[in-house]
Amino acid sequence: MTKRHSSKGYRRQNPKTSSRPPKRNSRTATFTLMSATGEAITTITANALQSKEFPPLRYAVDGYLAEGVTLLAGKPKIGKSWMALDFAMAVATGDLALGSVRCRQGPVLYCALEDNHRRLKRRMSQLYGDIEHWPPGLQVRRLGDGLVDDVRDWIEVHRPKLVIIDTFAGVRPQSRREGYDADYAALSPLQEMAGQMGVAILVIHHLRKMQGDDPFDMISGTTGLTGAVDAAFVLHRGQQGVTLYGRGREIEEMEQAVEFVGGMWKVLGDADEVRRSGERSAILEVLEGADEPMGPKEIADALGWKANNVKQLLFKMHKDGELKKHGRGRYCAADET
């Protein structure tokens, strides 16, 4: 049998005499991971993280605006700036926001990029004209081209609880990037700064014209905007009134019915409960104006609702004692004879 010769340059080594690389002790070895940019990735062990202590999260507006960047989006003229101004004044004075929400008092920077001083004074006079001295802790200013540096300098001097940028379009940087990358890069520097300096930053933005099943899909731009922020709110007017939708890393997901009266936003309660209460009131109003008991279809026709939905709600209202039943499937208000 012919022996096969090894290829040129290859020399068979004796495992007993050949030098080998030293064995690595897997218990003590350390490995440095590199990111795509060539920078070392900082890691922490699970048990080190378990023993690490963090200061409690700081809120400017309890349950709504925590340290980090929050996006508030809504259609034009719905009242986003009124809500932002309410947050600003409530934090600056330590008063209540949205009619009932507790705030932590501290300096506030309001960057009004679409309103001049005349318009701001008119709005504040409408809201707080009876206050002898408006809070000096609330400062209004415009921003230069260096958005992040300008805000950072102000934060280092005044140590505010809240910074409001109204609106995002007024400070959005020009970029060659497009789509998700451009949107994410536009807000991520603010988000990083807010986390480093422990301040709540509220950015006002718009909704697109197109409707969506998820209210957050209506935010103008790509998901890069919501991906870069810590929380997002959508102020949306539907057939049953205005709802404030909230979603974020440090807040409870919410759908709250809100009402705008005299320049002031007020939280009415959980949207489902408020709407349900409104539907019951509408049914009672129809029955109280009727000359005789009515059936589900008659009530549905009077309200322009679906008969099946009315039938289910009538059953619940009768069970709760709000309605009396006459004959087969006919109802009147409980206080009627």
Cβ contact 199:161 at 8 Å: yes
d(CA 142, CA 122): 18
Q: What is the percentage of the chain residues whose pLDDT exceeds 70?
A: 84
pLDDT at 239 (0 to 100): 76
Spacing of C-alpha 336 from chain mean position: 46
71 by DSSP, 3-state: which? strand
Q: Which of 137, 92, 138 is nearest to 111 (CA)?
A: 138
pLDDT at 31 (0 to 100): 45
Q: Which range has highest mean pLDDT (32-36, 61-65, 271-275)?
A: 61-65
Across residues 172-201, what is the average pLDDT? 86
Amino acid identity at 181: D
pLDDT at 143 (0 to 100): 59
Beta strand 162-166 pairing with 108-112? parallel
pLDDT at 27 (0 to 100): 46
264 by DSSP, 3-state: which? strand
Whether residue 131 is predicted with pLDDT greater than 90 in this model: the reply is no
More reliable by pLDDT, 22 or 269: 269
Q: How many residues does the chain have?
A: 337
pLDDT per residue over 226-258, tens digit each? 999 999 999 999 877 899 999 999 888 999 999
pLDDT at 67 (0 to 100): 94
More reliable by pLDDT, 65 or 54: 65
Across residues 130-135, what is the average pLDDT? 70
d(CA 15, CA 28): 27
More reliable by pLDDT, 17 or 322: 322
Task: Evaluate the omega torsion of the peptide bond into residue 167 and state whether it is cis, within 30 degrees of 0.
Answer: yes
Spacing of C-alpha 308 from chain mean position: 35
pLDDT at 145 (0 to 100): 59
d(CA 287, CA 294): 7
pLDDT at 56 (0 to 100): 86
pLDDT at 39 (0 to 100): 62
Whether residue 28 is predicted with pLDDT greater than 60 in this model: the reply is no
Q: What is the percentage of the chain residues whose pLDDT exceeds 90?
A: 39
DSSP string of 44-69, one letter each residue? --HHHHHH---PPPPEEETTTEESEE
Whether residue 167 is predicted with pLDDT greater than 50 in this model: the reply is yes
d(CA 326, CA 292): 10
Quote the mean pLDDT of the chain.
83
DSSP 215: G
Long-range contacts of 320-328 (CB under 8 A, 24+ apart): 322/280, 322/284, 323/287, 326/293, 327/293
pLDDT at 206 (0 to 100): 93
Centre a 10 Å sphere on the Cβ of residue 154 and count the other Cβ atoms it contains.
Answer: 18
d(CA 67, CA 57): 7
pLDDT at 3 (0 to 100): 47
More reliable by pLDDT, 178 or 108: 108
